[in-house]
Amino acid sequence: MELEILYTKKIFMKKPLLLLLLFPFFSFAQNGPGGVGNRTGSSFLDMWFEANDLDADGIAEGSGESVLVSGTDIDRWIDKSGNSIIATSSPTRPKVFAAGNNGYPRVAFVGTGYFRSGNIPRSSNETIFCVSTVADAGNRTVYDAGTGNIRRLFSAPSGYPHVSIIGAGGQISNSLIALNNTIITRAVFGTGAGNSRLQVNQNTTGVTGNAGGSPNNTPLYIGNVGSAATAILNGNISEIIIYSGTVNTAQSIIIHNYLSAKYNISLLSLDLYKQDDAANGNFDHDVAGIGRTNASNIQSNSRGTGIVEISNATGMGNDEYLLWGHNSGAPTLTETTDLPPTITHRFVRTWRANEVNTASSAVDIGAIDISWDLSGIGTYHANEIALLIDTDNDGNFSDETAITSPTAMGGNVFKFNGVTALVNNARFTLGLLAIPVPVKLFSFTAIAVDNALVKLNWQTATEIDNDYFSIEHSAEGYHWKELARMKGAGNSSQLLWYTYSDNNPLTGTSYYRLKQTDMDGHYTYSAVRSVSIDRRKVTIYPNPVVNRLIIEGDKNELAELTIYDAMGRNVTTKIKLISSSSVKKIIDMSTLQPGYYMIKTKTSSKNISKQ
């Protein structure tokens, strides 16, 4: 029987630390830009700003405002490096524009609008990548302001379109950049003469100049440095990436190809990833790569911003690279056409790879491991997952043989070990085998309701010989108690809904999981869901109040409710209760005189103003 092969009974008898030791995949996956660095705050990726990680009026992406409207004023730019850096905007705020290069958003700066981070300790050696468009000669893009010294800068500071580093003594001529062109700028900063370098669109020559002095604990400015007319930016920025230390040659090539594909920018050299070209199908998105320039310049494990991670190449030699990206098809296993035998569905999304050297000639880096993170896509099992590779490059999967038997890594991650079929130009995707899964769990959620109860909901897509579900609860995540059992459907091929309410949840954070048991007694566990209950929390609004006052909280907390005026007199009998439930009360305050009042519940009190 299989419900969701994520955890076993033995694992849950151990302490939570064991889970981290058994499943290190997420902690060490290279999910930075192009797969270089990671987003845990523990790598050399210092800062990473994308134009889709913005706050408008204090509302963050993913928390109620999934798409920022074009032209919206922006309050903050959110760092993706894991270092929790937030750059706040100036009084004249920049704006977000949804329709940027290749459909990706960009931040528009006009005149005095800028972002500024707090003081940040900076490395003496740094590498900065920036995707920007300069719309007006004489304007600047990204820089650090040290004491009496502007150490780092990209764009066009001298009245005509070129790129330079202030303090480094070098510049790239205007033959390589024109106004209103979107470019990829790479700046490398090092202490000592001649250790700063600058490139645009990966020109191999670049510029070498003097270093701009010792680094300071200074803010990062994006846009305008101040009131000086020569220190403003009129233009757009799509992405900024900052690494502490020098990014090696292989990593730089991968990052440039990631940015080039994403924003449809032509590279001047070392354009290894060709699948982003229209003739090859526009596989522009979530590009990542591994590669080796020489023994000192290697990138061996990458995932990037997508769900595919490739690692452990057995034969990667000098000047050999593997890069991949997808065509932006839906990340769902719902496609029912172009299927090889034994496969019932596959991803709508398709990936394509280049396995080449810097001369764009095909190479063979040996066997590789390919991992797929299906978190948030659905709950799947190792015996139903298959890797599909278009080995003959004819654009079809139907004539291919599915690669089966991945290793379940936990957390809905599956790894195919020792894959040799992925070659230059090949398409690849993931499919589902025609193997009946006894119980296919479609979703499982646990939600706190009014800080009074926890509602569990789950759905099954198929059930075979399913006897019952056990709802289990834990205070710390490894000692479990059965709360109830719910009879399964036995056999079903349609979507079924189940629900259960825990009316006496624990205070604080606790954990829930499902145990699914077959008719023959075999069982498996679902993923764990955490829920927080704050029984003492009471919410009172609006404040100030004119007439209707709303009081929400735990039913035990609201069992006692008293109102006092500024003189300490009990005026509870003077108000009218409009509506009442165990967790919410609405009262009419219109009979009370304007002034200050105290609302007291069982263990808490709050002052309000009556107008």
499 in Cβ contact with 453 (< 8 Å): no
> Would you tell me how many other CB atoms lie within 10 Å of the CB of residue 158?
12
Residue whose token pair is 């189940």? 498
Burial label for 121, CB within 10 Å (0-12, 13-18, 19+), is exposed
Measured CA to CA in angstroms, residue 231 lies from 19, 159, 180, 234, 610 at distances of 51, 11, 18, 10, 50
Q: How many helices (H) and strands (E) does the chain have?
A: 4, 44
Contact 609, 575 (CB under 8 A): no
As a whole number of angstroms, the distance between CA 580 and CA 382 comes to: 51
SS (H, E, C) 287-329: EEEEEEEECCEEECEECCCCCEEEECCCCCCCCEEEEEEECCC
Q: pLDDT tens across 326-355, in order?
A: 999 999 888 999 999 889 999 999 999 999
Render pLDDT for 404-454 as a digit per residue (tens, 0 to 9).
999 988 888 999 999 999 999 999 999 998 766 677 788 899 998 877 789
CA distance 310 to 299: 11
Alpha-carbon distances, residue 274 vs 200, 242, 286 (angstroms) = 19, 26, 14
Q: Using CA atoms, how far apart are residues 331 and 350, in angstroms rounded to an integer? A: 9
In this structure, are residues 128 and 186 in contact, taking their beta carbons and an 8 Å threshold?
yes
The confidence score (pLDDT) of residue 46 equals: 87
Q: Phi, psi at residue 253, to the nearest 5°?
A: -60, -45
Burial (Cβ within 10 Å: 0-12, 13-18, ≥19) of residue 519: middle
* Mean of pLDDT values over 228-245: 76
3-state secondary structure 494-540: CCEEEEEEECCCCCEEEEEEEEEEECCCCEEECCCEEEEECCCCEEE
Tokens, residue 470: 């056990």
Q: Which of 174-188, 206-220, 395-409 has the highest mean pLDDT?
A: 395-409
Distance between CA atoms of 315 and 293, rounded to whole angstroms?
13
Stretch 57-86: mean pLDDT: 68
pLDDT higher for 323 or 90? 323
State which H helix or E strand residue 481 sits in: strand 481-492
User: Taking the domain 538-610, which CATH number applies?
Assistant: 2.60.40.10
Domain ranges, ordered by start, for the chain: 33-263, 278-431, 439-533, 538-610
**Average pLDDT value over all residues in the chain:** 80
Share of the chain above pLDDT 90, in %: 37
pLDDT, residue 103, reads 87
| Sign of the Cα pseudo-torsion (56, 60, 61, 62, in order) | negative
Q: Going by C-beta distance under 8 Å and a sequence separation of 6 or more, which residues neighbour residue 248? A: 293, 296, 297, 298, 299
pLDDT digits (tens, 9 = 90+) for 539-553: 888 889 988 999 888
Please report where in the chains the tokens 């309050």 appear, as a residue: 75
Q: Are 125 and 190 in contact (CB under 8 A)?
A: yes
229 secondary structure, DSSP code: G
Q: Are 201 and 208 in contact (CB under 8 A)?
A: no
Signed CA dihedral, 419, 420, 423, 429: sign only = negative
Both structure tokens of 415: 């790894």
pTM over 0.85: no
Round to whole Å and give the CA distance between 59 and 29: 29
* 4: nearest Cα among 502, 487, 440: 440
- Helix, strand or coil, per DSSP, at residue 210: coil
pLDDT tens per residue, range 563-591: 998 888 899 998 988 888 878 889 999 99
Residue 224 pLDDT more than 80? no
Q: Which of 186, 214, 60, 188 has the alpha carbon at shortest distance from 126?
A: 188
CA distance 225 to 213: 19
Residue with tokens 């959110």: 78
- The strand pair at 548-553 and 140-146 is best described as unpaired
Task: Pull the structure tokens for residue 18.
Answer: 């064991």
Mean pLDDT of 236-264: 93
Band the pLDDT of 187: cuts 50, 70, 90. Answer: confident
Cα separation of 498 and 299, whole Å? 46
Percent pLDDT > 70 in the chain is 77
DSSP state of 120: B
Judge whether 123 and 215 are in contact, CB under 8 Å.
Answer: yes
> Does residue 172 have a pLDDT over 50?
no
The band of 232, judged by pLDDT with boundaries at 50, 70 and 90, is low
Instruction: Tell which CATH classification among 2.60.120.200, 3.40.50.2300, 3.40.309.10, 1.10.10.60 matches the domain 33-263.
Output: 2.60.120.200
DSSP assignment letter at 166 = T
Region 29-35 average pLDDT: 90
Phi-psi label, residue 312: left if phi above 0, alpha if psi -120 to 50, beta otherwise = left
Superfamily of domain 439-533: chitin-binding protein cbp21 (2.70.50.50)
